[in-house]
Amino acid sequence: MALNALNETYDIANTQLEAAKKSSKVSGYFSGYYNYLKKKGDSPTDTAQEGASTARPTSSYPPNSVLRAHVLKAECCLQIAILQLLQESVMGYVKCGLNLRRAYSSYSYVWSEYQKMGADHLAFMDSDTISGVQFGIGSVHLVLSALPAKILKAISAFGWQPNKKYGFVLLNECRQSKRVRSSMATIMLLAYYTAAISFAPQIMSDVYKKTAMEILLDAQKYHPNSAVFLFFAGRMARNGLDLPLSTQSFLYAAEISRGEWAEVAVTNSCRFEMAINHMLTGNWSHAAATFEYLYEQQYWSPAFCRYAQGACYEMMGERTEAILIFAEVPQLVVKKLGGRLSDIDSYVLRKIAMFQKSGYQNLDFYAPILEFMCIWNIFPYVSPELLTEALNRIQRGLAAIQKCENIEQEQRMMELAPDAPMPDYFDERASLLVAKASILNVLGRPEDTTLDINWILDHKECILQDTWTVPYALWEAGVSCWSLDLKNKSRQVWEMALDHGKHDFEHRLAVRLNLALTHTEELGYTEPQPTEPIDDKKRFSVALDQPSTNNSIASSS
């Protein structure tokens, strides 16, 4: 519905511009004839004085209505691009880039006219149009700066580099002007800050949290009952580790949106965030109930909401109920995006297939909800006590895998050339180890992640299903190095993660890596990665701890 409305608005603005081109020829003829008659009746002295007093005739500027139509057309492209960006798919990113390019073309035309007008711009362009173009150009720079490098190359030929600082400047000018797009500029800034922090809280929280809070508090002075700003208040409260306030803000935002045109969208978004908060506090029954509500509302991905509900039941120890819910998930997956599955639907469908392969007998080898929390990078918001419980749950899973492998090995020792295959639990162990490394990093034990991460990297050729575990393990390796103040090595490891592709949530991780790598470059950590030639048997290692010890994070070449 949003895309239809934006496309229709785009067509209306484009039609206005086409009509302006046709009318300009006729109006130009009569305007020129009128000026000819006027000059003919004026004295030479008057004509000279008039020419000296005006550096550029008013008629040489496009009418304000035309400039505003360009801004409306561009903003439609911008908002379509943002919706496509949220799809987190290759095609979505490409379409996003193309629409940003179209938006920037119109915005830059209006901006160039605005600059030509100089100090007298208000005589030819109203303040709301200026606000619109400031919002637009600032947003384009900000959104583009967050896109992964691979996507920018795939889009190709933008002809310019996004300037994040310039985007911040324009959006802040627009926000402070208190004109028609001031609120939108505030929302764009808050969306960027909260997204950047949530993608990489251990890296970006200290960078943006204070600025985001200042902008949010200023916005709430003018809009104290805005559901949108209350939603951001909930996100910022979570970033500040105040989960009760976060949940209260989401509840109030949902309550205040009742009867509004966006009631369903706001309520469902708030419910999803509340489900996340319930998971963060270990309130699995409330989380399961909330995911069930979202499934009934067909929110985002019904298949994922059902999967998450079952995963919460599994954490409560209600395995029978969890299995019954898991069994419904494959029927809920809907193909879209040109016949392809979305990242989240593809992920849950594959996980259910892995559960069903053993007839749900090996669920002890998995921790589905903890795996999701690791991928979404929300362990930093969990209390140390609950993290310790989660760590114990993962340890039990690893022990169950080890026990099963021992039994199978003993059976194989009973006969020569046994028909039974070798134990193959690489995927199950890898997913548990990535979650374990993530928890250890949050608990302030980065030096304890070395063996777990190295195991994943050493056995990456054996991990055939959960291939996402390898690049996500490299992300955690970079976080470990960051915690140990080895920031150059963090950058090197994160660059290694970029070399992996075609895995679950590839583009989500790519955005996270882009944010972290950009931040390291801004801090001046640009030491090049070692380039010594290495053969197939030599391991490339990155020391994780101080040089006086021998721990390392290593990967097979």
DSSP assignments along 430-451, one per residue: HHHHHHHHHHHHHTT-GGGGHH
Long-range contacts from 450-455, C-beta under 8 angstroms, 24+ separation: 450/480, 450/544, 450/545, 450/551, 450/552, 450/553, 453/477, 453/480, 453/553, 454/552, 454/553, 454/554, 454/555, 455/429, 455/430
Is 542 strand, coil or helix?
Answer: strand
CA-CA distances (angstroms) from residue 132 to 96, 102, 165, 177?
A: 20, 16, 18, 11
Q: Which residues contact 305 (CB under 8 A, 6 or more apart)?
A: 291, 292, 294, 295, 299
Output DSSP code: residue 262: T
How confident is the model at residue 44, as a pLDDT?
46
Which tokens in the block code for residue 5? Answer: 């409305």
Which tokens in the block code for residue 73? Answer: 């057309």
User: Can you tell me which residue has the tokens 């010594």?
Assistant: 532
How confident is the model at residue 45, as a pLDDT?
47
Q: Is 265 exposed, middle or buried (0-12, 13-18, 19+ CB in 10 A)?
A: middle
Q: Which CATH class is domain 368-414+421-523?
A: mainly alpha
423-446 b/e (C-beta count within 10 Å ≥ 16 → b): bebbbbbbbbbbbbbbbbbbeeeb
Q: What CA–CA distance (Å, rounded) separates 286 from 277?
A: 10
Which tokens in the block code for residue 200? Answer: 């990489």
Is 554 strand, coil or helix?
Answer: strand
Which tokens in the block code for residue 166? Answer: 């310039």
Q: How far is CA 61 from the centre of its chain?
A: 40
Q: What CA–CA distance (Å, rounded) separates 415 from 388?
A: 42
With CA atoms as reference, report the closest residue to 523 among 549, 466, 477, 485. 485
Rounded to two decimals, the pTM is 0.89
Q: What CA–CA distance (Å, rounded) separates 95 from 99?
A: 6
Q: What CA–CA distance (Å, rounded) separates 249 from 287?
A: 17
pLDDT digit of tens for each residue in the chain (557 aa)? 888 999 999 999 999 999 888 765 544 444 444 445 555 555 444 444 444 444 444 458 899 999 999 999 999 999 999 998 887 777 787 788 889 889 999 999 999 999 999 888 888 999 999 999 999 999 999 998 888 777 777 665 555 678 899 999 999 999 999 999 999 999 999 999 999 999 999 999 999 999 999 999 999 999 999 999 999 999 999 999 999 999 999 999 999 999 999 999 999 999 999 999 999 999 999 999 999 999 999 999 999 999 999 999 999 999 999 999 999 999 999 876 566 888 899 999 999 999 999 999 999 999 999 999 999 999 999 999 999 999 999 999 999 999 999 998 888 888 777 777 788 999 999 999 999 999 999 999 999 999 999 999 999 999 999 999 999 999 999 999 999 999 999 999 999 999 999 999 998 999 999 999 999 999 999 876 665 544 333 343 544 444 434 445 544 43
Residue 418 has phi, psi (to 5 degrees) of -65, 150
How confident is the model at residue 537, as a pLDDT?
35
Output DSSP code: residue 120: G
DSSP string, 71-89: HHHHHHHHHHHHHHHTT-S
Which tokens in the block code for residue 274? Answer: 């509340």
CB atoms within 10 A of CB 324: 12
Q: Is 490 exposed, middle or buried (0-12, 13-18, 19+ CB in 10 A)?
A: buried
Q: Is 44 exposed, middle or buried (0-12, 13-18, 19+ CB in 10 A)?
A: exposed
Q: What CA–CA distance (Å, rounded) separates 445 from 320?
A: 36
How confident is the model at residue 240, as a pLDDT?
95
User: Can you tell me which residue has the tokens 């039974």?
Assistant: 420
Q: Which CATH class is domain 180-281?
A: mainly alpha
C-alpha triplet 32, 38, 39: angle, nearest 5°? 90
